[in-house]
């Protein structure tokens, strides 16, 4: 092990780890170093080809859909769990923070950019093996680099009768990355983290643990039963910086005999509340098993087209008569719902009756769509338009990706909406980070209750329009009792001053919603301050961080902040004869 | 604050807490004391009426359904969260372990008996308030003393359309106690801990935390959304000794429009495997939403009657021709299934068709029962028996409590089976602890797969019969992919030597099942050793215990063992001038 000839140390007062020194009964970790020494150790760990310091690659990793100032000095790409452990060891030894990413596609929340500047990005993309698969018990065990598209292709190749759940982020998104962020999709398995178990986690202390029954060698129920025995630890490794998840079992859904999607609209703003109250009982009683979805006009329009720069005479925000005209042109409501029914033909038929009955008088244009009608509609779109004047092809273009998502088929279609305010069309290979698409996602949770839905969306809409942006909002019945509200704040980073204006709007929005009791289910790298709740809870999290990561090198500040430590260079005068162990 | 004139101390080397002393840079907690001083402080905290030292009450608390040697020096009964905090403070100050119980009805796993002898029992039974209730969002928030029967009465009184989930333990069981043990019931909300959120937890460090969104004052989604934001901590407070859960939100199930139970039998032992494989797809696709259940002949017979001492000429175990005769007399199969369908009439009708189709050729006597047929059957039981010779009344006596449980109606009927080997009849007020009913419950988990079910039950049956007891076994489809197997080992504690023989059988059973990969989902106070898995996991749990409970006073050894500490009286020679702070 090589070390710099002169080293600097900081007081940590924790259990000594290899490479630290103990002086006068106190514990010091190295903090100042020749960065090259650390790079050399990482290179030895993962191979020199997988330690990236090329400026272009670093700039790319530092760039997300809003302004950040974190600088990334290097990217390290381990190939397996042992290399991850070794990478963390080097990080601890040199006191250099590392920031794990799986796919780095955390769009709207910070992509691959570390919360804390100076962090080396630990890119887990090479760990992309599907380690286990069971058709009968319906699960798959994956490494963090496995993407949505990869799993979809894997299932297709095998002619599997299982469906995955996908987010709308993109086929290149990581399954594990989304699950540990507690993201969601659109099928009955929409609450991703709730459909996982058996995590393998590398801790900064150098230990590797397996959660649930996985910690017992040969445990038969390891991939099928979440809790294991004793305290259940899985939750600790979601939305945290306590360990690096290097393996996870994900449960899959058996394809139903029959599938039917439904779509509906509501033409008046006040109609949202009765809609939510009509859908909640169906979600609670299991008639609707999937994460049903209601999007406002802005959300739908931004998925269908870009900002109407010409028609608006370059004015922002979009509102009033032009908005009404666009709704009419595109045949959409102020609120636009979708969802799906899964089961046998008879089960779906009865669910259809119940959805119809619940939405009667509350929604218009309720339509049910299955594979057959979708195929027919595609064929007859043109003659249909001649007869009715309705551009069915355009409607289908909108419906199809959502239709696919409700069957767990990954798509990058929703990404197009991040180009909403751009003045050029989305390219074939979309990359919002690269293309200067401005996007913040803000994701408050509310009870599945009409009054709350109305209050939350009104607060958000008024605030965002007041800041000169469009409030693109969707509400998802993420569980039986809760709504996840996703508010997209899209802008053009190429416009001078827009980064600052959007940031101001975003922070005001978070503040207002929290002040009204609507807290986010997930935070961006710019909003980790929203973790602050009760003092005792915050203090407990800090102590846990200290336990899992005594030197605070793993994703510092990501959801959990460490207790500030006494910093300072080691004084050679105090003890000149120290050496690395 | 009063303290004994002379005190003894033990080295703990943790963050000093109030009342500890720091000497020579090391931290000591008081360990030897005048027990009366602690009792006086507890009395001041909860009132003298709620500190119990009457020998009869202590003996009762020390007694469970198998032999233990833990002695309980006192019972302390706090009335609210503030008193719990104060009780823990006293425990920490004097270094006296405390063992929280909610209802103390942890039958078969140790009832109210502490894992570690000398523990003061912290009885939370007085904290029995229902703090919040929401009919629309379908939840209730309760303290740990709220019993199953109490919640059931509460819902009935209000004419609520919500159903709770109940275990078969007894109406006096605590809801919170069962949920934190991750117990289960029989409705779609059978996985109890999975249907809770928003825990209030008092930590031995003196802090009180609220989990999920509850930590934000006024958060609207606190009672409806599990995860909150940041690391999810709820799991840490299930099956652990990290904190005392003093409040919990429990989700309730809307009563379905229609309910139908089903029952079936299988006359041959090898029929279990195909049955499980037939039911799994229906559970996975949501047709069966409840915790469907298959019990062997021993389980059913022990619920219907006591041991056939006379017919067997006092021989044990029960097996062979006599067992076959009893099955014939009682009209039961070797395997006996039950479950329920919930929904609209049409939903239940379709589910019935699918259950019928799945079980065709695999089960016999498939019957569906609803309120109407149950009422009619009760009326016509006698004439029916005259006509058919079948004792329908006896069958109904068996079916009714299970029927009720599948609708969330608490019952103490299953308790009768704990009197299986007794030579006197169960009394009207059953109390297995008091009445010397011997009972161990062993609860391995397996994948919901026929081969595993067959292997697990065969292993258990052969082993238990070999030890001279009856293997009463049930398998519950607790989740979509997992079977919880509950093995009851019932015996008569009044028989000399039976405690020892049953203990030997129980430990051999746990060992054999674990060696074959079937680990228990829940442990008894006699089997906490089964927590030992991988070293790194065990080490992590020990460190977490140290973080949550630096002096190891909260339920020591319950699921998590503390790191052994250097014990020893404080030496006055080393420093004669110490004082309490």
For A344-368, b/e burial (b = at least 16 CB within 10 A) is bebbbebbbebbeebbeebbeebeb
- Write out chain A residues lying below 8 Å of B521, CB-based: 225, 227, 229
Q: What is the rounded distance in angstroms from the CA atom of residue B488 to the CA atom of residue B201?
A: 32
- Write out chain B residues lying below 8 Å of A351, CB-based: 347
What's the pLDDT tens digit per position in A434-467? 999 999 999 999 999 999 999 999 999 999 999 9
Average pLDDT (B220-235) is 98
Q: What is the rounded distance in angstroms from the CA atom of residue B36 to the CA atom of residue B46?
A: 15
Chain-centroid distance, C-alpha A330: 29
A286 to B342: CB separation less than 8 angstroms, yes or no: yes
CA distances from A382 to A386, A394, B543 (A): 6, 11, 68
pLDDT of residue B509 exceeding 70, the answer is yes
A224 to B482: CB separation less than 8 angstroms, yes or no: yes
What's the pLDDT tens digit per position in A103-160? 999 999 999 999 999 999 999 999 999 999 999 999 999 999 999 999 999 999 999 9
- Write out chain B residues lying below 8 Å of A253, CB-based: 284
pLDDT on residue B223: 98
- Write out chain B residues lying below 8 Å of A353, CB-based: 346
Helix (H, G, I), strand (E, B) or coil at B269: helix
B218 to A452: CB separation less than 8 angstroms, yes or no: no
Question: DSSP string covering B470-528, please?
Answer: --EEEEEE-SSSEEEEEEEEEEETTSTTHHHHHHHHHHHHHHHHHHTT--BSS--TT-G
B481 to A560: CB separation less than 8 angstroms, yes or no: no
- CA B413, B302, B449, A230 torsion-angle sign: positive
pLDDT on residue A307: 98
- Write out chain A residues lying below 8 Å of B289, CB-based: 286
- Taking alpha carbons only, the member of B470, B568, B453, B567 closest to residue B513 is B453
B225 to A445: CB separation less than 8 angstroms, yes or no: yes
- C-beta contacts of A411-416 below 8 A and 24+ residues apart: A411/A166, A411/A168, A411/A170, A411/A171, A412/A169, A412/A170, A412/A171, A412/A172, A413/A168, A413/A303, A414/A168, A414/A169, A414/A303, A415/A107, A415/A168, A415/A169, A415/A170, A416/A303
- Write out chain B residues lying below 8 Å of A188, CB-based: 286
pLDDT of residue B486 exceeding 50, the answer is yes
- Write out chain A residues lying below 8 Å of B287, CB-based: 343, 347
B235 to A227: CB separation less than 8 angstroms, yes or no: yes
What's the pLDDT tens digit per position in B381-402? 777 777 766 666 777 777 788 8
CA-based nearest distance A173→chain B, Å: 21
CA-based nearest distance B31→chain A, Å: 25
A213 to B547: CB separation less than 8 angstroms, yes or no: no
pLDDT on residue B401: 80
- Write out chain B residues lying below 8 Å of A254, CB-based: 281, 284-285
**Closest Cβ opposite residue A534 in set B215, B479, B540:** B215
Pair A266, A475: CB distance under 8 Å: no
SS3 of B444-484: the string is: EEEECCHHHHHHHHHHHHHHHHHCCCCCEEEEEECCCCEEE
Q: Which two tokens stand for residue A161?
A: 């009768």
B238 to A227: CB separation less than 8 angstroms, yes or no: yes
B353 to A343: CB separation less than 8 angstroms, yes or no: no
B482 to A235: CB separation less than 8 angstroms, yes or no: no
What's the pLDDT tens digit per position in B289-333? 988 899 999 999 999 999 999 999 999 999 999 999 999 998 899
How does residue B563 score in pLDDT terms, banded at 50, 70 and 90? confident
Chain-centroid distance, C-alpha B527: 14
> For strand A21-23 and strand A8-11, is the pairing parallel, antiparallel, or unpaired?
unpaired
Mutate to test the interface with B, among A163, A276, A511, A519 (most CBs of B within 10 A): A519
Q: What is the rounded distance in angstroms from the CA atom of residue A385 to the CA atom of residue B513?
A: 67
Q: What is the rounded distance in angstroms from the CA atom of residue A520 to the CA atom of residue A273?
A: 21
Mean pLDDT taken over chain B: 91
How does residue A16 score in pLDDT terms, banded at 50, 70 and 90? low
- Write out chain B residues lying below 8 Å of A448, CB-based: 137, 224
B347 to A347: CB separation less than 8 angstroms, yes or no: yes
Chain B, nearest residue to A514 by Cα: B219
Query: Residues near B415 by Cβ (< 8 Å), separated by ≥ 6?
Result: B107, B168, B169, B170, B426, B430, B432
Mean pLDDT taken over chain A: 91
Q: What is the rounded distance in angstroms from the CA atom of residue A506 to the CA atom of residue A504?
A: 5
CA-based nearest distance A229→chain B, Å: 5
Average pLDDT (A295-316) is 96
- CA B415, B416, B420, B423 torsion-angle sign: positive
Helix (H, G, I), strand (E, B) or coil at B148: helix
CA distances from B174 to B192, B197, B495 (A): 12, 16, 31
Chain A, nearest residue to B210 by Cα: A537
How does residue B6 score in pLDDT terms, banded at 50, 70 and 90? very low
CA-based nearest distance A219→chain B, Å: 4
H helices of A104-243, in order, are: 148-157, 175-180
Average pLDDT (B540-545) is 97
How many Cβ atoms from other residues are within 10 Å of residue A154's Cβ?
16
Q: Which two tokens stand for residue B449?
A: 């797969």
> For strand B98-101 and strand B120-123, is the pairing parallel, antiparallel, or unpaired?
parallel
How does residue B376 score in pLDDT terms, banded at 50, 70 and 90? confident
Higher pLDDT, B398 or A167: A167
Partners of A163 in beta bridges: A253
How does residue A168 score in pLDDT terms, banded at 50, 70 and 90? confident
**Closest Cβ opposite residue B519 in set A219, A481, A533:** A219
B543 to A541: CB separation less than 8 angstroms, yes or no: no
What's the pLDDT tens digit per position in B156-199? 999 999 999 999 888 999 999 999 999 999 999 999 999 999 99
What's the pLDDT tens digit per position in A488-533? 999 999 999 999 999 999 999 999 999 999 999 999 999 999 999 8
Mutate to test the interface with A, among B211, B221, B233, B542 (most CBs of A within 10 A): B221
Pair A183, A520: CB distance under 8 Å: no
pLDDT of residue B422 exceeding 60, the answer is yes
Which helix (H) or strand (E) segment holds residue A542: the answer is: helix A535-548
Q: What is the rounded distance in angstroms from the CA atom of residue A175 to the CA atom of residue A124?
A: 12
- Write out chain B residues lying below 8 Å of A523, CB-based: 229
Q: What is the rounded distance in angstroms from the CA atom of residue B376 to the CA atom of residue B373?
A: 5
Q: What is the rounded distance in angstroms from the CA atom of residue B336 to the CA atom of residue B364?
A: 10
Q: How many CB pairs under 8 A join A and B?
A: 267
Order of strands, sheet of A196-202, starting from the edge strand that comes earlier in the sequence = A130-134, A139-142, A244-251, A196-202, A208-210
H helices of B139-227, in order, are: 148-157, 175-180
Pair B12, B551: CB distance under 8 Å: yes
- Write out chain B residues lying below 8 Å of A342, CB-based: 285-286
A236 to B233: CB separation less than 8 angstroms, yes or no: yes
Which helix (H) or strand (E) segment holds residue A399: the answer is: helix A392-405
Q: Which two tokens stand for residue A470?
A: 């469009």
B138 to A480: CB separation less than 8 angstroms, yes or no: yes
How many Cβ atoms from other residues are within 10 Å of residue A576's Cβ?
7
- Write out chain A residues lying below 8 Å of B227, CB-based: 182, 193, 235, 238-239, 521
Mutate to test the interface with B, among A348, A527, A537, A545 (most CBs of B within 10 A): A537
Peptide bond into B33 cis (omega under 30): no
B137 to A251: CB separation less than 8 angstroms, yes or no: no
């Amino acid at each position: 092990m090589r070390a710099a000839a002169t080293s600097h140390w900081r007081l940590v007062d924790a259990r000594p780890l290899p490479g630290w020194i103990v002086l006068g009964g106190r514990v010091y970790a190295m903090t100042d170093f020749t960065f090259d020494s650390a790079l050399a150790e990482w290179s030895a760990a993962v191979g020199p080809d997988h330690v990236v310091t090329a400026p272009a690659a670093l700039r790319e990793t530092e760039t997300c859909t809003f302004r950040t100032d974190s600088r990334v000095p290097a990217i390290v790409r381990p190939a397996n769990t042992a290399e991850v452990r070794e990478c963390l060891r080097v990080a601890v030894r040199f006191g250099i923070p590392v920031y794990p990413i799986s796919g780095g596609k955390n769009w709207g929340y910070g992509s691959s950019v570390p919360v804390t500047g100076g962090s080396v990005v630990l890119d887990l993309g090479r760990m992309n093996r599907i380690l286990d698969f069971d058709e009968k018990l319906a699960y798959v065990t994956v490494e963090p680099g496995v993407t949505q598209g990869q799993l979809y292709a894997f299932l297709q190749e095998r002619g599997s009768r299982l469906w995955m759940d996908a987010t709308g982020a993109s086929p290149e998104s990581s399954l594990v990355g989304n699950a540990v962020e507690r993201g969601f999709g659109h099928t009955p398995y929409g609450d991703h983290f709730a459909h996982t178990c058996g995590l393998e986690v590398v801790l900064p202390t150098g230990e590797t643990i397996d959660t649930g029954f996985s910690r017992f060698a040969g445990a038969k129920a390891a991939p099928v039963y979440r809790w294991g025995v004793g305290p259940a630890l899985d939750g600790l490794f979601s939305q945290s910086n306590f360990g690096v998840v290097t393996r996870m079992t994900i449960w899959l859904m058996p394809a139903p005999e029959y599938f039917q999607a439904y779509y509906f609209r509501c033409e008046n703003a006040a109609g949202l509340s009765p809609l939510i109250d009509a859908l909640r009982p169906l979600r609670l009683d299991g008639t609707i098993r999937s994460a049903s979805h209601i999007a406002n006009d802005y959300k739908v329009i931004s998925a269908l087209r870009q900002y109407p720069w010409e028609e608006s005479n370059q004015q922002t925000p979009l509102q009033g008569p032009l908005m009404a005209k666009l709704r009419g042109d595109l045949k959409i409501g102020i609120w636009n719902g979708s969802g799906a029914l899964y089961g046998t033909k008879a089960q779906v038929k009865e669910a259809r009756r119940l959805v119809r009955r619940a939405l009667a008088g509350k929604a218009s244009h309720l339509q049910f769509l299955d594979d057959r009608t979708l195929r027919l509609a595609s064929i007859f779109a043109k003659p249909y338009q001649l007869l009715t004047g309705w551009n069915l092809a355009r409607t289908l273009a909108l419906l199809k990706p959502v239709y696919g998502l409700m069957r767990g088929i990954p798509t990058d279609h929703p990404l197009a909406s991040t180009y909403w305010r751009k003045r050029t069309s989305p390219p074939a290979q979309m990359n919002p980070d690269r293309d200067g698409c401005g996007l913040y996602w803000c994701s408050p949770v509310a009870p599945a209750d009409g009054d709350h839905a109305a209050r939350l969306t009104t607060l958000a809409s008024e605030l965002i329009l007041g800041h000169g942006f469009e409030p693109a909002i969707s509400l998802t019945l993420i569980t039986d009792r809760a709504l996840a509200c996703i508010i997209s704040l899209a802008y053009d980073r190429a416009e001078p001053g827009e980064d600052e204006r959007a940031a101001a709007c975003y922070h005001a929005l978070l503040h207002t919603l929290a002040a009204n009791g609507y807290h986010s289910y997930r935070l961006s790298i710019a909003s980790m301050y929203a973790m602050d709740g009760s003092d005792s809870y915050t203090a407990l999290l800090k102590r846990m961080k200290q336990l899992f990561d005594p030197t605070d090198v793993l994703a510092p500040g990501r959801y959990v902040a460490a207790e500030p430590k006494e910093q300072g260079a080691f004084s050679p005068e105090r003890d000149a004869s120290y050496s690395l162990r």
